[in-house]
Chains A and B, each alone.
Chain A
């Protein structure tokens, strides 16, 4: 059989979902040798496209990336060579190589990127120039740093004055090129002003509504809305505009109690920061809320994921929970995939579940992506492709997933299952990831078109991975 393998041919029908890469020639059904590998097929597609610059293509057959020759693929999947294969070609995911890492003093809990294409860059209306990308990092030492892409700290926030309380930050997000929000274990959501010219960070607003640590914030600049998810199992809606917010609840202010007031005075605050309360508080979760996002196309709807295994849809006008999706595990992260109307949520059970949040959806889990060895705490979508997402996990890896690379099957109620297409290790770490990811846990990941994949972790570094030749 091996001797005849070289002679065996198979019919393939080439197709792509990228309108810019359609093959003009007809017909698209070709007879090719089964010994062809991905590279040869990619060359073939390039020949057919007659382009000056060659594009590396990935070949998808029946929802699986071709990694070997066609013949081996057919043998492995038990496909008859006489059938016509539907071959989808797509721009290859160029391995995002480790570009640089920014050293911090303490664990880095979150990163966000301000660039032309990032949401904050878009909201700021083209104020962000190309090459002027800024990286925001929140650290467990309670400081927020703004970096340029060369790895220089442009500005560092001052340590907040919270009366001797812990200041570790858990999350930070750009609102615009001049504003960002950060929150953490001191239960306070702070809005900072960043002046790129003088490179200073000043706290402009302190928002009090949480009794326990803030786990995540979401921002929507056009409506000036900030959502914060907290361990006290509530979600608060703030406005980034101080005047819109009501007065802060007195019992949550640092100087509310005698003891804390005493401490507060001892710390001698330099200047006072306006403190405000929340526009709305959403209660309904039974356990810490780990993540919250705005609905991509509708800023009056929010999704939240909680340790109580549920994914809730909130409606702001009515201030109520619209929908609740219960999964089997504590949810640690959430991100929206707008192109497919899906929500990706990372669980403590080491996988990513894709949930259709629409009320009409019957299946709780559309797709399950397995491959991490520890809880998935951060998710981001690929700005270049609507099919890719990146996940950061406590096992110390970031993994890139292609939603097309799925197989049906798996366990009941899990929908389709997928495997990661690429794994990013932390810098200086090689070999298989350990489940506990000690010292290299990834806490936050962000995927920007200009900067690439930015991830932050326990190794006190912000790591940038980028496909260099894109």
Chain B
């Protein structure tokens, strides 16, 4: 089917007269063939020569490979030929081109099944041979390509092909045009050549034919019968054709047994002869060969190995960052890598058993965080080094190391092992700050209703209390024995009591409603103390009377005096209540000047007359403030200077009494100040507020609180500094508790006050949401006295 195109091509190739260039090509072929035969001769001739001529025989070897590829028949044909003969032949080939050409042609025919083709080809070749010139002319077609114009075939006799076998005569028509037809062309007689069976049809045919077993299609020449072969014979034949050994079970490639190498195999040496000398003498033959190579190298015939030039490296540009790097000195930031300790026994692959962790230790190790592990590996036991597996965290470790190098500077890692407690500012342990009150030492019962105020006398023997029942009571401090009482008012509660802070005399001031009472509880006093106290109080009568005599004007004035000093009713006077001062509105707090000549009262509703300063020696009441901003809550004298503190609801103002000017305005930031107390040093102020805060003001520091203590759950009603040398202060709150603080003030300005909460004193009951109403310190001891809304006064020590 594909015969014709091939034929055409072959013709096209062979038809043109061999130009010089082509002859070169041919020559090449011829040369190859010649060498091929020559080499074959050599190989057959002598092995030794072959070895010797190896260098020269390089080409031959190459051709011999080609030879293997070429046809065997040809080889056989040419075997006998001499090299020269072949060269001759080559020359003939150049001119005639016939014999060699034919052979390949035949080859083609052999491959094709069609016989007719070969004859046709022969005829064409013959024609070519005859003319020895091309039967075509070369033109240039429209596209500029070469075009072969074939000559008209002259139908001479020789060209008659009547005797030719039946061939397909469709001419120069591609067979594909017959694809749709059952035939593939026409014979010489114009009959259709039917398409030969193929594919499925052929298979069906083959299947239909029953081929007997062992059928060969051959005829036994001896019997003339069809030759049938058995399976055995067929397999033998197959093996013969494959060049295999026919014998059954023969293993052509048995495992090599090195009989002469091992001790096991070679029980006895084959020869007892000693090792021949030649084994120790350098081989002459080898020397000869080496010399040959050396000579060749010297002459340049063999170039020594030259490494291939790596052009790639030159092409690839790499930037060396560290090219200009200069070695630097180790500076302070340089941290040398820590020197690792040598590995111990536990690091061994086969550690002594005592280094092996037991199960519990293993579990503990596995449970720990990686950072916390003491060792980063778990000692394991392997019987032999070869049983040690690969390092399992190798990749991970490398990766992390790379990360470290990439991201992390090499710093010494300090694990933060900080106890959160240690971050708090260092406060002294309360144990070290003893003594301070810790327990309730006495309960003073007897008061009806709330106790609103307490005061400890300057000697520290008695406690005075005032409360809702209008009584002022005096108690023995240690035993809680009530030793004196007087009812100042039947309607009004006693809101404030305060002892005059001078030891020589014993005067108690108490405020109930709009009245202030000055009391000398003479039942408790020795006659001379009583007399001394009386003298102090009585001194003012004369002054007041003389003043009123000399200057009657104020009495005439429409204004009533801010305070009216008078003797109370007889019943009270017999009890020791000697002076009664009436002010304009109800008094809530009362506070003495340190020398005991003045005391101040604050009546929050009094507006302009809310703050009054009373002078005992003159029986005089003065209103220092014509108008006060805000509602006054409490007032106090400075313990050493002529400074007066007035607390309104939100602010505390300090006034210089001598210069009569405002010194400072403190802004505690509180919503409603309940009480203040000035530190005995005079530079600090304690503020208690109804909004549950206790504020410490350092007067030198700022107008804002130095410390805010918010420990109470209810309003703070009273605050008090210890005035007898202990660095203590206390507050009393409506949550029924007192809190004791250590508040140490250092003289120099460099250090701020130390404030340490010490103790919460519980015991007072909360009644109607009122807890502890007042607190006061003992003048010497770290004891404090509190007034409770539950009607008790308690001593804490």
Contacts and interface: CB of A to CB of B under 8 A. Distances in A.
A259 B522 contact: yes
B442 interface: yes
Given A213-B461, A288-B460, A436 B440 contact: yes
Interface in A241-283: 251-257, 259-260
A307 to B, nearest CB: 7
B615 interface: no
A231 B779 CA distance: 14
B723 interface: no
A307 B794 CA distance: 19
A308 B725 CA distance: 13
Interface stretch (A63-71, A297-305, A326-334): A326-334
Given A375-B478, A443-B479, A256 B528 contact: yes
Contacts of B442: 394, 436-438, 441
B115 to A, nearest CB: 122
Given A435-B439, A436-B794, A307 B781 contact: yes
Interface in B777-797: 780-781, 783, 794, 797
Contact of B522 (A253, A260, A348): A260
Given A260-B522, A394-B442, A212 B459 contact: yes
Interface stretch (A19-27, A39-47, A163-171): A163-171
B81 interface: no
Interface in A434-455: 435-438, 441, 443
A436 B441 contact: yes
B498 to A, nearest CB: 20
Interface stretch (B168-176, B447-455, B529-537, B641-649): B529-537
Interface in B427-466: 435, 439-443, 445, 459-461
A112 interface: no
Nearest to B440: A436
B527 A252 contact: yes
Contacts of B439: 350, 373-374, 435-436
B622 to A, nearest CB: 29
Nearest to A458: B479
Contacts of A36: none
A375 B441 contact: yes
Interface in B520-552: 522-531, 534
A164 B575 CA distance: 10
A458 B478 CA distance: 12
Interface in B443-496: 443, 445, 459-461, 476, 478-481, 483-484
A185 interface: yes
Contacts of A255: 527
B443 A107 contact: no
B478 A257 contact: no
A199 to B, nearest CB: 29
A214 to B, nearest CB: 11
Nearest to A329: B435
A377 interface: yes
B530 A259 contact: yes
B460 A287 contact: yes
Interface string B63-91: 00000000000000000000000000000
Contact of B478 (A107, A168, A332): A332
Contact of A441 (B459, B479, B530): B479
A165 B443 contact: no
Nearest to B524: A166
Contacts of A213: 461, 524
A250 B530 CA distance: 14
Nearest to A213: B461
Nearest to B779: A287
A210 interface: yes
A377 B478 contact: yes
Contact of B531 (A231, A232, A257, A438): A257
A435 B439 CA distance: 7
Contact of B523 (A140, A164, A288, A441): A164
B618 to A, nearest CB: 22
Contact of B780 (A287, A332, A435, A437): A287
A252 B528 contact: yes
Interface of A is mostly: loop
B73 to A, nearest CB: 114
B794 A256 contact: no
A350 B440 CA distance: 12
Contacts of A417: none
A55 interface: no
A211 B531 CA distance: 12
A257 B481 contact: no
B440 A435 contact: yes
Interface in A418-437: 435-437
Nearest to B445: A438
A342 interface: no
A187 interface: yes
A288 B461 contact: yes
A254 B780 contact: no
A153 interface: no
Contacts of B461: 212-213, 231, 288
A252 B522 CA distance: 13
A458 B525 CA distance: 24
Nearest to A350: B439
A187 B442 CA distance: 24
A345 to B, nearest CB: 15
A349 interface: yes
Nearest to A163: B527
B523 A165 contact: yes
A168 B781 contact: no
A288 B476 CA distance: 13
Interface in B153-192: none
Interface string A211-252: 111000000000000000001100000000000000000011
A259 B529 CA distance: 12
Given A107-B481, A435-B439, A443-B479, A260 B445 contact: no
A260 B527 contact: yes
Most chain A beta-carbon neighbours within 10 Å: one of B443, B527, B531, B534: B527
Given A256-B527, A348-B797, A166 B484 contact: yes
A231 B522 contact: no
B640 to A, nearest CB: 21
B736 to A, nearest CB: 16
B526 A212 contact: yes
B607 to A, nearest CB: 39
A9 B207 CA distance: 118
A394 B534 contact: no
A109 B272 CA distance: 136
A349 B434 CA distance: 11
A436 B781 CA distance: 17
Nearest to B763: A436
A162 B479 CA distance: 23
A251 B531 CA distance: 9
A438 B763 CA distance: 13
Given A185-B524, A307-B781, A394 B478 contact: yes
A375 B445 CA distance: 19
Contacts of B443: 436, 438
Contact of A165 (B459, B460, B476, B524): B524
23 contacts: A140-B481, A165-B522, A168-B481, A212-B526, A251-B528, A252-B526, A256-B527, A256-B528, A256-B531, A257-B530, A259-B531, A260-B531, A308-B780, A348-B781, A348-B783, A350-B439, A374-B441, A375-B478, A436-B443, A437-B442, A438-B480, A441-B442, A458-B479
Interface of A: 107, 140, 164-166, 168, 185, 187, 210-213, 231-232, 251-257, 259-260, 287-288, 307-308, 328-330, 332, 348-350, 373-375, 377, 394, 435-438, 441, 443, 458
Given A164-B522, A441-B442, 12 more contacts: A107-B481, A165-B525, A187-B526, A212-B529, A255-B527, A256-B527, A259-B522, A260-B527, A307-B460, A307-B780, A374-B441, A375-B478
Q: Considering the complex of A and B, which 10 residue pairs feature the smallest CB-CB distances, nearest first?
A: A251-B528, A435-B439, A257-B531, A436-B440, A256-B527, A211-B526, A187-B526, A438-B443, A166-B523, A260-B527
